Amino acid sequence: MTSLELARWQFGITTLYHFIFVPITIGLATFTAYCQTRWHRSGEEHWLRATRFWGKLVLISFALGVATGIVQEFQFGMNWSNYSRFVGDIFGAPLAMEGLAAFFVESTFLGLWIFGWGRLSPRVHLACAWAIAGATALSAYFILAANSWMQHPVGYRMVDGRPRLTNIAAVLFNNTAIYAFVHTIIAALLTAGMLVIAISAWHLRRGNEAAGVFSASIRLALPLVAVAALLQFFVGHFDGILMTKQQPMKMAAADAVFETKRGAGLSLFATGDFESNPRGLDRNIEVPNLLSWISTGYPRGEIKGVNDLDREYGARYGPGEYAPIVAVAYWSWRAMIGCAVGMFAVGAFGWWRARRGELLRSRRFLRLAVPAAALPFVASSTGWIFTEMGRQPWVVFGLLKTSDAGSPSVSTAEVLVTLIGFTLLYGVLAAIAGRIFLRTARKGPPEEGAAEEPGQELALAY
């Protein structure tokens, strides 16, 4: 393997690992702030205990997210120096805003929330919780704005072969960034909801009511998951329309449409030759017209095919292969959608049983809800794989190819050493964090009246 291929593996591994913790932090921070709001308004102790319990998991996730995110940053200068030089003038602004306007606020108010129990007024302390939730979302927005510029470059002009920022508002309010942000926030809420359902179900099956903490939490999380999953389908529909306009090759590869057609069907299962771009299919089972409706808003809308787009891009950008690995785009997109369907089923069925007063007696549902916690993580990972791999061969669409973005002076051996080192480091972090997270989740909140008085520092518990 070349140094470029190893660098791509390294960045892919670290990015997917980092994104395990991002939706947990965003989603659980919001869930915790809502629990604290319920306690502040009602004074019911089980909401206080729920706040402190889920807050512990937020802190664990936040710590791992910071550690893995820092490692990510190193790779820009180490393995992707040409890319860093090319996009530096554009990326500098949103990344600086993420660090100063979002992460700084997030970490500051997190400290105030941890040490503010019994010291700050209840209203101010609650405001700190919501500030954390808002700052985590804002941090994600700035990062997504930078990534969306790679998908759809705007607000720049080319000077000496490099883009120069001319309109920061165009970059920050890129329609691609807005759709990606909504999609990501809903995914974070789904992740938090599924985790709350799984952990609560595990305790409820064992009779660990914890004075109503888990029964209240799961009843809150079930409709959250059902509604969020349904919203994700609507957002995905409009995102598909936007993607078809901005990156038609990605959308064509997502459904293995090789020849331009009207009234394209949504493929349920297809096979082709074992090649990066097989140029056609051996078999295809599809739902008529559904892909055209998802991608254009019209059942008979036109979908450009991979082969036609490849020829069009070759004429525009020069000779080369402009199709991504079709099988990766095809199956990652289906895995993401399939997981969303599964989460909707869990949330809707559990919500229905809860409204009938049968949730705690539904032993089979409580048992299946625990492994279902993997669904949002599979969905997030495959979603990122689809987003990044579907853009290939571009690292910045239409401007910079991935093959031209690496560090020319870095050898294969050097990248291999860092790839192995970072992978081992992440493995150790995964083992430590996983053990702490699972131990905290299994332990649950302390018994009623034990070690839960406001004024005790949460920091000492970790």
- Smallest CA-to-CA distance from 291 within 335, 246, 261 is with 261
**What is the per-residue pLDDT across 255-283, written as a single tens digit (0 to 9) for each?**
989 999 888 888 888 888 888 888 888 88
Alpha-carbon gap, residue 250 to 262, rounded angstroms = 17
**What is the per-residue pLDDT across 272-318, written as a single tens digit (0 to 9) for each?**
888 888 888 888 888 888 888 888 888 888 889 999 999 999 999 99
What is the mean predicted confidence (pLDDT) over 234-249?
A: 88
Alpha-carbon gap, residue 430 to 97, rounded angstroms = 29
Alpha-carbon gap, residue 24 to 30, rounded angstroms = 10
**What is the per-residue pLDDT across 51-86, written as a single tens digit (0 to 9) for each?**
999 999 999 888 888 877 777 777 787 888 899 899
Could you tell me which residue, 99 or 323, shows the higher pLDDT?
323
**What is the per-residue pLDDT across 92-114, written as a single tens digit (0 to 9) for each?**
888 888 888 888 888 899 999 99
With 70 as the cut, is the pLDDT of residue 398 above it? yes
State residue 127's pLDDT score.
Answer: 95
Return the sign of the alpha-carbon dihedral for residues 355, 356, 359, 363.
Answer: negative
**What is the per-residue pLDDT across 160-195, written as a single tens digit (0 to 9) for each?**
889 999 999 999 999 999 999 999 999 999 999 999
What is the mean predicted confidence (pLDDT) over 376-404?
A: 93
State residue 452's pLDDT score.
Answer: 43
Tokens at 169, concatenated: 């508002």
Alpha-carbon gap, residue 386 to 337, rounded angstroms = 11
With 70 as the cut, is the pLDDT of residue 451 above it? no
Strands (E), 243-380: 261-262, 266-271, 283-287, 302-303
Q: How many CA atoms lie within 13 A of 91 on its CB side?
A: 16
State residue 447's pLDDT score.
Answer: 62
Alpha-carbon gap, residue 302 to 247, rounded angstroms = 14
Tokens at 184, concatenated: 């990501």
Report residue 210's pLDDT band, with 50, 70 and 90 as the boundaries.
Answer: low
**What's the chain's average pLDDT?**
88
Return the sign of the alpha-carbon dihedral for residues 104, 64, 184, 344.
Answer: negative
What is the mean predicted confidence (pLDDT) over 435-460?
A: 63
| Tokens 């669409």, residue located | 397
With 70 as the cut, is the pLDDT of residue 330 above it? yes
State residue 382's pLDDT score.
Answer: 94
Return the sign of the alpha-carbon dihedral for residues 276, 280, 285, 289.
Answer: positive
The Cβ of residue 311 has, within 10 Å, a number of other Cβ atoms equal to: 12
Burial (CB count within 10 angstroms: exposed 0-12, middle 13-18, buried 19+), residue 139: buried
Report residue 25's pLDDT band, with 50, 70 and 90 as the boundaries.
Answer: very high
- Smallest CA-to-CA distance from 143 within 101, 107, 105 is with 101
Question: Strands 261-262, 302-303: parallel, antiparallel or unpaired by DSSP?
Answer: antiparallel
Tokens at 205, concatenated: 């099956």
What is the mean predicted confidence (pLDDT) over 21-38?
A: 94
State residue 300's pLDDT score.
Answer: 87
State residue 396's pLDDT score.
Answer: 93
Tokens at 52, concatenated: 């402190």
> For a pLDDT cut of 90, what percent of the chain falls above it?
50
